[in-house]
Structure 1
C-alpha cells in the first residue's frame, strides 16, 4: 500500500488537479468549457490504444525516439563518478519539447481544433509547435517576448519557415511570462476553434499532468536503457534544469516512487539569488496563482509578479510547475541553482570534454555537478534537454569577452 500512496502523492494530481496544495484550475469563465473539454478528451486518450499507437509511431519515426543514453566518459573521469547524458538534444527540432507537442496536436485533432496557439521563451517549444502544425496542416500562432525574439533569432526564423506567425509580447519584461499572458488572452478571445499547446508543466489542470505524462517517455527510456547498460534500471541521481519544469518532470516521472533515486532540479540564479536579477523561484517564491494554477511564484509583498532574469531564455520564468513545488515542499526533490556564469562555464566544459554543445538551459543542470559530492559507485543521469545551436550568439559574445584585447 505504501508504494501506491506514494504514487498517488507524487505521480498523479487529485481530481481537481492538485499536487498537495499546488495546482488546480484558476481560469476565466470564458475558458471553462475549453478546459472541461480538454480534461474529458485527455482522460479518454490515456487508455485509447489507437491514440497511443499513433503517438508512439510519431515519437519513433518522426521525433527520433528513443534518444540515446550516452555514457560521458571524459566528463565522468573529471568528477570521479559515472555520468550518463539523456540526449534529448538529438530529438527532431533539437529539444525535448517535441514529445509534448506531438501528443497535444493529436489531442487537438481529436477535438476538431483548426487553430493552434503557443507561448515560447527559448523558442524550442515554438519551433516544436510550428513543426507539428506543419505536419498536420493546422494554423499556428506563437507568442514570444520581444526580448526573446532578439536573442533567439535562429528559432524565430525556423518558426516562420515552418509557416507559423510569431507575435511579439511587448509588455513587462518582454519574455516568457509575458508571452504566456498574451497566449491566454488569445485563447479567451478564440475559445471555439483554438487549442492552446502549453509548453511546460504549468497552467490550469489538466496541463501540468498532461505535459508531464507526454514527457515521461524520457524517464521510461532511461530505466530501460540503464538496465541494458548496467543491469540496474535505477540511477542514484537524476539532474535536470527547471524553468516551468517540463524536461525535469519527464526525467523524474518514472523515478518519483523510487525513494533511493535522488532528484535534483536546477533553477536559474541569474546574476545571483540576492542580486534582484534571478529566476530562483524555489528560494524566493511564495505560494501564488499564475497562469491558471497555484504554485510557487516570485512576487512582492502585495502580490505583484517579480520580473525574472536568466541568460537562458527558457528559464527566466517567475514560477515553477505545481508538481515541482510539491516535490520541493515534501523533500522528494532538491532544488539547486546555477548562475549565468556557472552555466556558461558548464557549457564550455561539456563542449571541450565530450564534443557536445548544450543549450544554455541544459547547461544549468550540468553546473550542478560542481555543487554535489560524488562517489565512484554513483550512476548519475543528466537530462540534456536541448542543443546549443540557438544559443551560439550568446556563446560567441562570451568568447569575445574572454579573448585578450
Structure 2
C-alpha cells in the first residue's frame, strides 16, 4: 500500500486533482462525510498500527502476494513474453478485496457502525460483504436490477455473507444507478455510515484512496518480475477499465517509468458507434459524474448516456479522474474491445492456460493481437478476476 504523497504529475494534488480532473463536486449535505474522510484518511492509513493490520490481513486472509504467472502457451501464440498477475486468486475471486480490507479498517477507525456500497459485477459487493462479516459490521449493497439478474451467483454470496442487497430500479438499472442510490443512502445516514466505493471514482479522496489500497498490485509486480526476469519494469502493463481500480493498482508504481507503456482497455460493447457501448474515452467528453470531474458519455446538454457492455463491471458511463488525465496527457494508451472480442479472448485463455477469466479481464486479453509486442518485450496483464460469476453468459457460447 502506498502511503506517502507522491510528488509527480500523475498523482492527486492536495485538493484531489489530476490535471483538470478530479475534485469533489458534491451536494452540501454530503460535504461533512467527504470532508471527514479527506481530513483523516492519509494520517490513518500511514499509521504503523494500521499498516501492520492491513498487511497482516492481506497476507493471511486475502492470500497475498498473488502469483505473477508466465503464460507460456499464450506467449507463444502472440510472440512475446506474457505474464498474468493473478488477482483472480485473491479471496473472493478478484482484486476488489484489497480495497475493501483497507476501507473497513478505516471505517472502524472513524467509528462507523454501518457500511453501504455499490456493485456492478457483484465482485465489489461480495468483497464488501466479506469484510463486513469479518468485522461484524452491518452491510447494505446497492446493485442494478439488471445486474442482479445477470450476476446471480454473486448476489447469493452477498446474502449468504449477511449483506442486504437492494435493487436499483431506475435508469439502465446497472452500476451507474446503483452508485446513485448508494450516495443517496450515505447522504441520509451521514453520522454512522461509511460508503465503501469500489473503484477510483467519486469525490476526492476516494480516487486517491482506492488507488493507494490497490497499489499493492504493482508493488508486487515489480519485485516478482525482477525475481523472474532480472528487471522490475515490463514494456507493457495492460488492464481493463470501467471505473478503473484494477488498472489504477496495476499502473501505480509505473506512472513515472515512461518506458513502461500503460494500456487501458474499455468495453466497446456491440461496437463503438453502435449506440450500445461503454468506450468512454472514444465517446465521452469532460464533465462531472458521481462527484468528480472526469470524462463521461453524455449528451450535448449534459445528460448521461446509458452505457452498454456484456460485462457488468465495465458497464459504466465514465472513468476515474486519474484515468481521464492519463488519457488526456497521453501517458496511458486507451483501447477498447467488443463483447464478441472479449468472449473470444476468454475462451482462448481458458483453452491455452486452463484459466477462466472474468468477462471484465477478458477485455484486457482481447487486445493482445493489436499490441505489436516483440519477442524481446515483456507484457504484464492484470488478471483482475475469475470467471465463475460469468458462467451463465459463457454457457451461451458453448455449442
Range into which the TM-score falls when normalised by the shorter chain: over 0.9
Measured after TM superposition, the shift of residue 47 of structure 1 is: 2.2
Say if 1:22 and 1:294, in contact at 8 Å, map to a contact too: yes
Q: Secondary structure at the match of 1:214?
A: helix
Distance in 1 separating the partners of 2:128 and 2:46: 24
Equivalent residues in 2 for 1:304-323, closer than 5 Å: 304-323=303-322
- The match for 1:384 is 383
Any gaps of 5 or more consecutive residues in structure 1? none
The 8 Å contact of residues 204 and 292 in structure 2, kept in 1 or not, is answered as yes
Equivalent in the alignment of 2:359: 360
For residues 3-402 of structure 1, what are the structure 2 equivalents within 5 Å?
Answer: 7-10=7-10, 12-399=11-398
Instruction: Tell me the distance in 2 between the aligned counterparts of 1:32 and 1:171.
Output: 25
Secondary structure, in 3 states, of the residue corresponding to 2:46?
Answer: coil
Alignment RMSD, CA only?
1.1
Once the two structures are TM-superposed, the CA of residue 6 in structure 1 deviates from its matched residue by 9.0
Structure 1, residues 345-397: CA drift from partner, whole Å, max 9, x if none? 00000000000000000000000101111210111000000000000000001
SS in 1 for 2:167: strand
Distance 1:71 1:43 in 2: 35
TM-score (norm 2): 0.98
Deviations 1:91-138 (A, max 9, x none): 000000000000000000000001000000000000000000000000
Partner of 2:312, secondary structure, is coil
Q: TM-score, normalised by structure 1?
A: 0.97
Contact 2:254–2:260 at 8 Å: present in 1 too? yes
Q: Which moved more, 1:372-381 or 1:212-221?
A: 372-381
SS of structure 1 residue aligned to 2:118: strand
CA distance in 2, matches of 1:141, 1:236: 41
Paired with 2:219 and 2:371, the residues of 1 have a C-alpha distance of: 25
Measure the CA separation in 2 of the matches of 1:95 and 1:323.
21
Between the aligned partners of 2:188 and 2:53, the Cα distance in structure 1 is 31
SS in structure 1 at match of 2:340: helix
Provide the C-alpha distance between the structure 2 equivalents of 1:282 and 1:179, rounded to a whole number of angstroms: 22
SS in 1 for 2:62: coil
SS at match of 1:196: strand
1:146 deviation in Å? 0.1
Q: CA deviation at 1:46?
A: 3.5
Rounded to whole Å, the distance in 2 between the matches of 1:380 and 1:341 is: 23
Distance 1:188 1:331 in 2: 36
